[in-house]
A and B are shown apart, each in its own frame.
Chain A
Amino acid sequence: MAVVVLLPSLLAAEAGGRKEFELEAQTVGDALRALPVADLLFDERGELRRLVNVYVDGVDARGHGGIEAKVAEGQTLRIVQAVAGG
């Protein structure tokens, strides 16, 4: 499935300035792992970092299958930093 992934500014800077990626993926996790910033999204065990939120067409993936959730053709995944930090 071709999906679009949108990155926030800090991740876009780490991806060479690119904010938008079009990727082939079956699941949310597939799409995130295909990004050049996957190491910043997942820890060394492959677990999505606690403060990384992913919205699939505006719906928080965490309550809807998480990174195992299937994606559909044309969906947009937006990565959002949780409200935290200083």
Chain B
Amino acid sequence: MGVQVLAGTRKGLFVLTSEDRRSWELGGPLLPGWEIMHAVSDPRDGTIYACSTTFTYGSAVHRSADEGKTWERSEQVGLPEESGLKLEKLWHLTPGREGEDGRLWLGGAPGVLFRSNDGGQTWEPNEGILAHPTREKWMPGAGGMCCHSIQLDPSDPERMYVAISAAGAFRTDDGGETWTPVNQNVAAEFLPEPYPEVGQCVHKLLLHPARPERLWQQNHCGVYRSDDRGDTWERLDGNGLPSGFGFPIMLDPRDPDVAYVIPEVGAENRVTVDGRLGVWRTDNAGESWEQASNGLPDQAWSVTLREASAFDSLDPAGVYFGTQSGSVWASSAGDEWIEAARDLPPVLSVEVAEWQS
């Protein structure tokens, strides 16, 4: 089994391929000149989708059905005039479930979600998020009010989750018609009331694919796990992590108790803890954490953005992340990290796809 890592950077999309997850070939850049906020290969048909943006020309969705040789651009993605909002940036794209032909989900700022039913040719804003009754309490984080996490429940076609910074996490049980805030026990220490209904700054939210009632999140204010579809959350960073602040989170698709985070000093000093690029791993659902940094540089202050981590479904599971200093790191189960690429432009996003060798 081979793997393909899509590394979206500030200057184009790079493609890393490997047969053994140890030696890597680098291809690209594709879409030169574009910032690739997120790129993903649709497991249903191999189409690559990219959320692309430039300072000058705004955001677009590019798609390629021939592994990046040629690209098409979606029709313009925008918001209706009556919303009073304009699209600021596109952040994240999630393909629909197996059997949902043509269905895609797209998140962006200011706190917006879109759906496509035609393979990304056209996009419709989700009214339930756009007109959410709590929207006036949402606020943008440093990266804008981005909808960056879109998680589909594989066990229920009507259930999915989104997370928005800084609005919190939301769950729909009716296919996206209505959205319930799911932020109980999640801190918003930057607000006067530290446990509000909404306003939490989720940095990344993931659903465990083999146990979909279990969610993990790396938040501005801690690392959390929920075992009841987000109804309640347990804070986990006091159990041995050097800091609760960070952006990425990675999972093992076969073991719901495993997670990886990359802590940073804190919101006011967003660098690695102790000047070391450190990955921390739990194998007991967050009861305790241990360093899993073998192979990573002893001295490094470079950080990993919210979209710049991924995991594969091989056995043992591979975990991947990219840094602002242009490296992409790969590891099998966190045992030993290999620098799959270096000296790229700053890495904004990492996704992984697999193929049969």
Contacts and interface: CB of A to CB of B under 8 A. Distances in A.
Contacts of B299: none
A44 B56 contact: no
B159 interface: no
Contact of B57 (A40, A44, A45, A86): A40
Interface of chain B: mostly helix, strand, loop or mixed: loop
Given A10-B33, A44-B87, A82 B75 contact: no
User: Interface centre among B10, B58, B81, by most A CB within 10 Å?
Assistant: B58
A51 B60 CA distance: 16
A75 interface: no
A11 B55 contact: no
B86 A84 contact: no
Given A39-B75, A51-B55, A85-B56, 12 more contacts: A10-B32, A13-B33, A39-B76, A40-B57, A41-B57, A43-B58, A44-B76, A44-B77, A49-B57, A82-B56, A85-B55, A86-B55
User: Interface centre among B34, B57, B75, B81, by most A CB within 10 Å?
Assistant: B57
Contacts of A14: 73
Contacts of B60: 39-40
A82 B86 CA distance: 21
A58 B331 CA distance: 54
Interface of B: 10, 32-34, 54-58, 60, 73, 75-79, 81, 86-87
Question: Which A-B residue pairs are the 6 nearest by beta carbons?
Answer: A44-B78, A85-B55, A39-B76, A40-B57, A51-B56, A10-B33
Contacts of B10: 86
Contacts, number: 48
Interface string A75-86: 000000110111
Interface residues of A, number: 20
User: Interface centre among A10, A37, A52, by most B CB within 10 Å?
Assistant: A10
B58 A49 contact: yes
Given A44-B86, A45-B86, A9 B73 contact: no
Nearest to A16: B70
A5 B34 CA distance: 22
Contacts of A11: 57
